[in-house]
Amino acid sequence: MNSVEGKIALISGGARGLGGMSAKKLAQAGAKVVITDLREEEALATLDEIESAGGQAKFIKHDVALEEDWIEAVKFTVEQFGGLDILVNNAGVASAARPLEELSLESWRRLTSINLDGVFLGIKHAIPHLRERAHLWSGGGSIINISSIMGFIGGARSAAYCASKGGVRLLTKAAALELASSKIRVNSVHPGFINTPLFRGGVEQAEQRVQGGGQKFIDAVVSRHPIGRLGEEQDIANAVRYLASDDSAFMTGTEMVVDGGYLAQ
């Protein structure tokens, strides 16, 4: 079930958080995994964990905003493992909450260069390799783009983040239509709030503003999820593994919302 046995995956931002857990799940299910990230130390720790559990993984340092880095990361994957079957465009950043009037063009460009340009570049450079091996699998090649519930709804003081995640949602559909005939599937995943280092950074900021503010922030966030808890990394990694596997062979251009009911309200 959800097997990715023998497939080769590249996961951007795979050092920690959702990317790290996705890398572990895919490796556990039999994929060979390349983790790319800017954070070397955390990436090597994740790599160690995968290898100690008997999985196969490699790491390459990579800034997803840079096209030359993407070319290198894809080349490295092909050299190390002999091809590419699964691309998880996961690397992403959140911005400090800021009103639009105070948002500099530089901050806007920095965030969108990672969260949106990074996804475009990943898709672009992965295509020839995914296409080459797509015939090997009943589900073909698979591209999984990590968007957000903020790719559906707006959030005040989060314009760049929402714009980037909405962009990923429609980039996914355009790519899915273009690549279907090459047997490459492209889907987006839309997490609610998930307990990762990124989320915990937000909690720390709230605590620094007001004592006890961190817990209030967590309570407020949890209350917006009808299931009554934050998401855990494995909630998203399970969705990634499913979309990477041949079990999802008839799914392309779609949005997998994993949000504890947040968007159903």
Ligand X SMILES: NC(=O)c1ccc[n+]([C@@H]2O[C@H](COP(=O)([O-])OP(=O)(O)OC[C@H]3O[C@@H](n4cnc5c(N)ncnc54)[C@H](O)[C@@H]3O)[C@@H](O)[C@H]2O)c1
Residue in 161, 193, 217, 242 annotated catalytic = 161
CB of residue 200 to ligand X, shortest distance in Å:
8
Nearer to ligand X, 96 or 136 (CB): 96
Closest CA to 75 of 31, 37, 125: 125
Q: Which of 115, 60, 65, 94 is nearest to 199 (CA)?
A: 94
Q: Report the 10 Å Cβ neighbour count for 1.
A: 7
CB of residue 162 to ligand X, shortest distance in Å: 11
Residue 113: which residues within 8 A CB-CB, separation 6 or more? 65
Q: Which residues bind ligand X (CB under 6 A)?
A: 12-13, 15-19, 37-39, 62-65, 90-93, 114, 146, 148, 191, 193-194, 196-199
Kindly state the smallest distance separating residue 111's Cβ from ligand X, in Å: 10
Closer residue to ligand X in complex, CB, 77/148: 148
Q: Are the C-beta atoms of residues 1 and 216 closer than 8 Å to each other?
A: no
Least Cβ distance, residue 238 to ligand X (angstroms): 14
Q: Which is nearer to ligand X, 94 or 251 (CB)?
A: 94
Q: How far apart are CA 141 and CA 126, in angstroms?
A: 10
86-89 and 141-146 as β-strands: parallel, antiparallel, unpaired? parallel
AA letter at 46: T
* Shortest Å, Cβ 91 to ligand X: 4
Q: Which is nearer to ligand X, 50 or 65 (CB)?
A: 65
Cβ partners under 8 Å of residue 96, min gap 6:
205
Distance between CA 89 and CA 207 in Å, rounded? 31
Looking at the Cβ atoms of 131 and 224, the one nearer to ligand X is 224
Specify whether the CB–CB gap between 2 and 241 falls below 8 A.
Answer: yes
- Tell me if residue 161 is catalytic: yes
Q: Which DSSP helix (H) or strand (E) runs through 203? A: helix 197-209
Place of tokens 């290898």: 51
Nearest of 68, 186, 67, 165 to residue 118 by alpha carbon: 67
Q: Which residues belong to the active site?
A: 161
